[in-house]
Structure 1
Amino acid sequence: MAKNQPKLTDMTELLLQQVIQLEQTIKQSEKTHLDTIKELSNIKITVNVAELQKIEKEQRQRLQNDFEQFHREITKNNEKLLKLHKAVSSKKLLYLIVLNIFLLLTTGFSMYIAIKNTIDKSQYERLTNEKKQLINQLANVNQFFIENPKISKTFQDWNQKQ
C-alpha cells in the first residue's frame, strides 16, 4: 500500500493560491482602513463653549441646592437630637448626683457608727476575762446552793422580799 503523497507542484500551487487570497484580504482591509480615515477626517466637531458653560453652571447650581437641602435637614435633625440629649442628660445627671450624695452620706454615717462602736483589742480581752470570771463565780454559787439546800431556801425567801 503506497501512500498518496502530494507532489511538490501541487503544494506550490496551493501555497500560491493562499498567498493570492492573503494579498486580496490585505488590499481590502487597507481600502476599508483608508475609507474610515477619510470619513473621520471629514467629520467636523464644533464645540459650543457657551452651551457647555451653561450646562456646567446649571449642574453646579443643582448640586449646590441639593447640598443646601441636605445640610438643612442634617442641621434640623442635629438640633432635635441635641435637645433630646440635653433633656435626658440633665435629668440623668441630676439623678446620679443625688444618688452619689445619698451614698456618700450613708457611707460616712456607717463609718462614723462603726468607728464609734469599735473597741480596741485590750479592752476586748479584758471584757472576755471578766466574763469568764463571772461565769466561774456563778458556777461556784450554783454549786454552793446545790450543796446547801437550806441556805438556798433562805436566799430565795430573802430575794422575794426585796
Structure 2
Amino acid sequence: MTRRTAPFRLDGRATTAACPTGLRTIRRAGCRAAAAVFLAAALTGCTAAANSGANGGSSPASDLDADCRATKSDTGLEVTLTVSPCPPTGGGVAGTAGVEVKDADGKAVSGAKVEINPEMPNMKMKGGNQTARPEGDGYEAKLVLGMPGDWRITVTVVPASGEKSTTAFNLTAKG
C-alpha cells in the first residue's frame, strides 16, 4: 500500500505529512488522532442507524393506535388504514390492510380505485402495489411485510370523480 503525501503550508513553511486515512495532518500523532475521530464518527453513525428502529431515533414513529388504525386527510378525503394482524407482523406473513375512504361530508367514497404500497425506507425495500377490492363500506388488500422493522404504507385513492389522494402511514412490524 502506498501512502499519499500532501504538501501544505503551516506558518509559511512547506510541510509534508503522510496519513493512511487520506487526511492531511502535521504530525504522525495528528494522523492517529484524525483516524480515531473518523473511526468514532463512523461507529457512532452505524450504531445510531442500527438502533434507530428500537429507540425512535431517525425512524418514523408508528401512526397506528392500539387497535392498529390510523386516519389521515389529503385533498378533501379522509383515509383510515386498519392493519391485521394486530400488531403488524413482519417475516412474510400475509395480513390485510383495510382502507376506509370518506369525503369532506363524512360519507363513504365508493367506486374508487385504491392501491396500497408497503415499503421499508431504511432498507430500500418495496412490497409492490396491491390493488384493494371493495369490502363493505371500504376496501381491503393483502398486506405482506417481508421482515420486522419500520414500514411506510402509502395508500393511493383515485375517486370516480375528484382529485387523486396519496397518504402515507408509518408502522412497525414485529418479528
Q: TM-score, normalised by structure 2?
A: 0.23
* Larger RCO (CA under 8 A, 6+ residues apart): 2
Structure (1/2) with the larger strand percentage = 2
The structure with the largest helix share of the pair is 1
Structure exhibiting the larger radius of gyration computed from Cα positions: 1
